[in-house]
Amino acid sequence: MVGVYYQKSYSQCGEDLIVSYIFDSLKIAHPTYLDIGAHHPYFLSNTFLFYRRGSRGVCIEPDPFLFDKISKSRRRDQNLNVGLAGKSGTLRLHVFSSRTLNTFSGEEAKKYIAAGHEQIDSREIVVLTFEDVMSRCFDTVPDFISLDVEGMDMEILDSIDFTKYRPGVFCIETITYSRVGEGKKLTEIDEIMSGHNYMKYADTYINSIYVDRDLWRAHT
């Protein structure tokens, strides 16, 4: 009997199932997505559940090693081996043995090294802006954005023209790194999203899920 209620999640804390419930409520069967900092085709992925159900989107992953895994397993997505930043150009990517910690932020990299993590590589990577990705990869605004970029989240959010682009749902990492699980919540992200008329629908401590307030009211 237990199997009747079983639901498979690929996210770190079940975020994909929460987002799935939101899209069910919005009556969007196959949401499009932009996965910024995709990391892996399915491990800790907030978008793989939707990919398996037939959705399509764009995965952005700057680490060539991880990008190779994504491009092999997510062939129906458009996959970009670049980073995202407030302005286009190149940035130095700090790569760690635990690749979930990869970051363009030198400040974040120093914290990880001080905490005992091994940096195994450092290389210049092409970075695009949010506007670049929208104009090159999407005919319409994606329904869902997953954002996990280790120290670059607020820079990317500040670069989005929310009067032009209104994704229905965001899932954003909103906690700073802590080796003992006591990271600080980034309340600044709450303020940014609230200021653009997004409500916080759920919080898993590590990630927060935001929904366009007007879209939600129109469908519920």
Q: What CATH number did the domain enclosing 38 receive? A: 3.40.50.150
Domain count for the chain: 1
Residue 1 has pLDDT above 60, yes or no: no
For residue 44, being part of any structural domain is answered with yes
The pLDDT, as a whole number, for residue 220 is 80
- How much is the pLDDT for 4? 73
- Would you say residue 157 lies in a domain? yes
* Domain assignment of residue 156, given as a range: 9-83+135-219
Residues 149-181: tens digit of each pLDDT:
988 999 999 999 999 999 999 999 999 866 655
pLDDT at position 180, please? 58
Question: 46-98, pLDDT tens digit by residue?
Answer: 999 999 999 999 999 999 999 999 999 999 999 999 999 999 999 999 999 99
pLDDT of residue 114 exceeding 80: yes
Terminal alpha carbon distance of the chain: 31
